[in-house]
């Protein structure tokens, strides 16, 4: 209760949810003693794959007995997920104490919710100067609150694609502008660039960072992966090759994220032995990213059928999600709820050979599109129905034994599943 009251006060500090600027957080962090200048960080930017890449790095680093702090957003079930220190989430009481301390120093000055949370993270992280910090950028990066570091160990550029264009002027809603916002202010250190959707995006990234004097490591040119059906995949870079067990997370795109994580940690030369990587890739925790729900109240509703929840919400996310679905020999049913500012028709168009689609309301999100309106947008797609919530959607689907139900379209919808379960 105490924690929720503080969060409510944080939400009222600024009239806007997002107000892209670095001035407010720099002012607060100066009052806090510039904690961002006292940490060792790996910065992660991009559109898709940031959290998955972070979790892969984190899992491997833990196997190497390297202590980490982790800052991600948004959270899925509870805000504590965003605040990991010394390899452990802060408790409600610890988080409340941290927030109160920073709140007092802020002295009611205007600052956005994400900015004050980020300041809280930096303030706590400075207490662990030897830990490696894995820091996920929020919106874009150039004017994101996480972009106030003066130096870092590395920057990871995950897959970049069109998303969050409502924060850009109409004329600037291009991949070139998005890449610029995400990569033009990366620090001089090491830049590891993950696999991109196409050559054009990779070329755009290379052009944008061409004047950056960092050591640059690119997918395909400097590291790569391959896999077979015998339970192994192969990673290779200039240091040599690794034969690795298939990870505990599903989807080929996860191999891309894991390979990027491996490339980053091997580039840093921080004592990551092959055995740490081999063990780490089998212990990755990744909420709402192609996560199979194997037990719980929601799982009970689908009985013997497979239930997967995934928070993808843009075209690139839909594309890689469909690639995974096409590897499965079963009927697939999709339950989808989305935010109003997404490309709804384009998102759903990526899914092929789907037995049914059920649109739902995301009742906890005021900026979501209603399930009824979403159904209207899908009018040219066969077998689309509307149900008001997740439980009724599952009950309404005519499933045969062995079918798969996928709940997707929003991280908020994914969070609702996990909370209900």
For residues 142 and 192, what is the distance between their CA atoms, to the nearest angstrom? 18
pLDDT at residue 274, as a whole number? 97
Of 134-143, 160-169, 230-239, the one with minimum mean pLDDT is: 160-169
Residue range 395-407: average pLDDT?
95
Of 165-179, 205-219, 252-266, the one with minimum mean pLDDT is: 165-179
Q: How confident is the model at residue 267 (pLDDT cuts 50, 70, 90)?
A: very high
pLDDT at residue 227, as a whole number? 87
pLDDT at residue 239, as a whole number? 96
pLDDT at residue 165, as a whole number? 67
CATH fourth-level superfamily of 2-280: Mur-like, catalytic domain (3.40.1190.10)
* Closest of 46, 58, 53 to residue 204, by C-alpha: 46
Pick the CATH number of 291-420 from 3.30.930.10, 3.90.190.20, 3.40.50.1580, 3.40.640.10: 3.90.190.20
Residue range 97-123: average pLDDT?
98
Residue 166 has pLDDT above 90, yes or no: no
Reported as a single tens digit per residue, the pLDDT across 21-57 is 999 999 999 999 999 999 999 999 999 999 999 999 9
Residue range 229-249: average pLDDT?
93
pLDDT at residue 164, as a whole number? 66
Q: Where are the domains of the chain?
A: 2-280, 291-420
What mean pLDDT is reported for the chain? Answer: 95
pLDDT at residue 231, as a whole number? 84
Its pTM stands at 0.94
pLDDT at residue 18, as a whole number? 86
Reported as a single tens digit per residue, the pLDDT across 318-347 is 999 999 999 999 999 999 999 999 999 999
């Amino acid at each position: 209760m105490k924690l929720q009251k503080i969060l409510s006060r944080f939400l009222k500090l600024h009239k806007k949810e997002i107000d892209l600027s670095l001035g407010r957080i720099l002012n607060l962090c100066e009052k806090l003693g510039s904690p961002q200048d006292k940490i060792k960080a790996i910065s992660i930017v991009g559109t898709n794959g940031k959290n998955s890449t972070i979790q892969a790095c984190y899992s491997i680093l833990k196997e190497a007995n390297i202590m980490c702090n982790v800052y991600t957003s948004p959270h899925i079930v509870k805000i504590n997920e965003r605040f990991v220190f010394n390899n452990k989430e802060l408790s409600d009481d610890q988080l409340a104490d941290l927030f109160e301390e920073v709140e007092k120093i802020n002295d009611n000055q205007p600052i956005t919710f994400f900015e004050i949370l980020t300041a809280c993270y930096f303030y706590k992280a400075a207490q662990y100067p030897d830990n490696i910090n894995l820091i996920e950028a929020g919106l874009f990066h150039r004017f994101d609150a996480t972009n106030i570091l003066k130096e870092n160990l590395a920057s990871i550029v995950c897959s970049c694609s069109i998303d969050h264009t409502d924060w850009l002027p109409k004329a600037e809603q291009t991949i070139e502008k998005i890449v610029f916002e995400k990569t033009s202010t990366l620090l001089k250190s090491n830049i590891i660039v993950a696999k991109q959707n196409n050559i054009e995006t990779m070329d755009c990234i290379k052009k944008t960072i061409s004047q950056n004097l960092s050591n640059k490591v690119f997918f395909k040119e400097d590291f790569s992966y391959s896999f077979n059906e015998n339970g192994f995949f192969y990673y290779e870079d200039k240091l040599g090759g690794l034969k690795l067990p298939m990870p505990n997370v599903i989807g080929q795109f996860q191999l891309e994220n894991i390979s990027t994580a491996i490339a980053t940690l091997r580039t840093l030369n921080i004592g990551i032995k092959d055995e740490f990587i081999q063990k780490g890739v089998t212990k990755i925790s990744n909420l709402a990213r192609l996560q199979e729900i194997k037990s719980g109240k929601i799982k009970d509703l689908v009985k013997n059928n497979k239930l997967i929840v995934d928070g993808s919400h843009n075209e690139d996310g839909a594309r890689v999600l469909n690639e995974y679905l096409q590897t499965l020999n079963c009927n697939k049913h999709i339950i989808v709820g989305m935010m109003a500012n997404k490309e709804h028709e384009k998102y759903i168009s990526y899914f092929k050979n789907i037995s049914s689609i059920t649109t739902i309301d995301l009742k906890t999100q005021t900026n979501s599109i209603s399930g009824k309106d979403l159904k209207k947008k899908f009018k040219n797609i066969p077998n689309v129905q509307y149900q008001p919530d997740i439980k009724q959607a599952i009950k309404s689907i005519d499933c045969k034994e062995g079918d798969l139900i996928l709940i997707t379209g929003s991280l908020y919808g994914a969070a609702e599943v996990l909370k209900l379960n």
